[in-house]
Amino acid sequence: MAIAHITTRKPEIYAMSWPFDLDQCIRHLGASDPALRALMSRAGPVTLTPRTEEPPFEALVRNIVYQQLSGKAAATIHGRLLAITGEPILPEVILETHPDSLRSAGLSRAKTTAITDLAKHAADDLIPDATTMATMDNTAIETCLTHVKGIGPWTVQMYLMFCLGRPDIFPASDLGIRKGMAQLYGLDELPSPADAMDASTPWKPYRTIASWYLWRSLDVPD
């Protein structure tokens, strides 16, 4: 899967700095793994910043759209959805929009159901705001969000990484991560999620940035 969150919105609207020392992170990753150090040298500096002030509802709608799609395809569908709902996308607008209209953006039936259920949760004040989310630990956020139909661990991980900027998230089941790891270590087959997780251990506590480089590696020449 391509790096999530390439959107039609201007990234500077919610872009913030990482809530940890990025230079220290890069030094640690480079020292922990020569192969990763070589990749970071080829790929260059981290160009992504977390959107820590973005309303969780908007971020989670986008994450649902991006599930199991390439970045380009997902961005197209997300743009069509915003054309239907307007910006910023609001729970009440989703609830007032006929499912067929939402699906006309290219959403699957399952994703339409998930976004509608998310809107119901948000309308009932069951989705914390960005400030509250920032005070919650990862487990509490996962418990809260996975009550929504169609939101599983991957969607939560994307939110933790790209909105809250949590430093040590590693989505081991993500296809792009596994492809990037196979390329990094010259493997003939994709590692299993369990093997990918084991191999990521030296990168702790900065696996979020290591993950970004694995995704980035799929677009960087050897």
Spell out the residues 6+ positions from residue 169 whose beta carbon is closer than 8 angstroms to its own. 138, 157, 160, 161, 207, 208, 211
Span(s) in the chain for CATH 1.10.1670.40: 16-50+169-217
What topology is assigned to 16-50+169-217 in CATH? Endonuclease Iii, domain 2 (1.10.1670)
Which pLDDT tens digit goes with each residue over 161-208? 999 999 999 999 999 999 999 999 999 999 999 999 999 999 999 999
pLDDT band at 16 (very low <50, low <70, confident <90, very high): low
Roughly what angle, to the nearest 10 degrees, separates helices 56-66 and 153-162? Answer: 130
Q: Which CATH architecture has domain 56-162?
A: Orthogonal Bundle (1.10)
pLDDT band at 15 (very low <50, low <70, confident <90, very high): low
Residue 2: per-residue pLDDT: 41
Q: pTM to 2 decimals?
A: 0.88
Mean pLDDT of 131-148: 96
- Per-position DSSP letters for 127-162, written without gaps between them: S--HHHHHHS-HHHHHHHHTTSTT--HHHHHHHHHH
- The boundaries of every CATH 1.10.340.30 domain in the chain are 56-162
